[in-house]
Copies of this chain bind each other. A is one copy, B any other.
Amino acid sequence: MKIGISTWVWTSPLRDEDVARLVPHIAALGFDWIELPIERPAAFDYAQAARLIEVHGLGVSVCAVVGADRDLSHPDAAVRANGMAYLRHCIEAAQLLGAPTVVGPLYAAVGRTWRMGTEERARLLDQIAAHLRELAAYAAARGVALAIEPLNRFETSVINTVAQALELLERVDHPACGLLLDTFHMNIEERAFDQALRQAGAYLRHVHACENDRGAPGSGHVPWTEVGTALRAIGYHGPLVIESFAAEVAAIARAAAIWRPLADSPDALARAGLRFLREHPALLGTAA
């Protein structure tokens, strides 16, 4: 069972010195996996990070950070083109890093929400799917896969639920484009964790294991037994990655709406979350 953590728990954006510090630190804490958000292209050296990650025996995933100027759902073709360029960069970074997946809300900018009619929505999904299909091929050629993440209603109006993600994935229709589910968002949007995970089924390539308030897994009310049982039922093989955000770092706290510390320290959150996930009977043996 591979349990990972995002560097967002400690800092943002990542620079070479953060990678040099956090890769050994995360390995020493006992994690099997590290997730690296790419906020600014080439802000750290991917090949150098890859060597360090390999030395420390960690798995790795790349998290795409989709802001207003990189939005595949935007009406302006230049913004979409910029989104494509950014996501191709993330795929290349994943290849250099040895990461099997580029994950995140690849389909739309975080924080842009608007009301859509059924037809507008169908046209938009077609548009996004065409972009994602092209990216999936680009990724597959480099041994990388995409995992798109439904977000809660306050962060996007495009894909909030597994059911909506499947509408998009069926349009994309490429084996290198799957699904990331994050228990923080699921807790708001899904009527039942169990059903949503089973509905995701073989599409599920990545899981963000987060508490309902973004605190350490196990500190809130996410039904982990139900989650673990469903993950086992669908034969999930990917990692469980703790994603939370350092309340101390202004830019990330603002972006993720973190207004209070969710643990005594980033390390305390990491340690408590890891221990809980590692020892949870329903999660034991879930992931590969």
Interface size class of A (residues with CB under 8 A): 20 to 34
A111–B187 alpha-carbon span in the complex (Å): 21
A115–B260 alpha-carbon span in the complex (Å): 9
- Of the candidate stretches A13-21, A99-107, A250-258, A274-282, the one touching chain B is A250-258
User: Closest residue of chain B to A262, judged by CB?
Assistant: B191
Q: Contact at B157–A259, with CB atoms within 8 Å?
A: yes
A258–B115 alpha-carbon span in the complex (Å): 8
Partner of A188, one of B114, B157, B188: B188
Q: Contact at B250–A221, with CB atoms within 8 Å?
A: no
**Which residues of chain A from 220 to 277 have a CB within 8 Å of any chain B CB?**
220-221, 223, 250, 253-254, 257-260
Would you give the shortest CB distance from A8 to chain B, in whole angstroms? 16
Would you give the shortest CB distance from A221 to chain B, in whole angstroms? 6
Q: Contact at A113–B153, with CB atoms within 8 Å?
A: no
Oligomer: number of copies: 2
Q: Contact at A153–B259, with CB atoms within 8 Å?
A: yes
Would you give the shortest CB distance from A208 to chain B, in whole angstroms? 16
A104-133: contact bitstring with B at CB < 8 Å (1 yes, 0 no)?
A: 000000000111100000000000000000
- Of the candidate stretches A28-36, A47-55, A172-180, A211-219, the one touching chain B is A211-219
A189–B115 alpha-carbon span in the complex (Å): 26
Q: Contact at A257–B113, with CB atoms within 8 Å?
A: yes
Would you give the shortest CB distance from A268 to chain B, in whole angstroms? 15
A276–B170 alpha-carbon span in the complex (Å): 35
Additional 10 contacts, C-beta under 8 A, given A113-B257, A152-B154, A187-B188: A113-B259, A154-B257, A157-B259, A160-B259, A160-B260, A187-B221, A188-B188, A188-B212, A188-B213, A191-B221
Residues of A within 8 A of B (CB): 113-116, 152-155, 157, 160-161, 164, 187-193, 211-213, 215, 219-221, 223, 250, 253-254, 257-260
- A sample of 23 inter-chain contacts (CB < 8 A) reads A113-B257, A113-B259, A114-B254, A115-B250, A115-B253, A115-B254, A153-B257, A153-B258, A153-B259, A154-B257, A157-B259, A160-B259, A160-B260, A161-B260, A187-B188, A188-B212, A190-B221, A191-B211, A191-B215, A191-B219, A192-B220, A192-B221, A193-B221
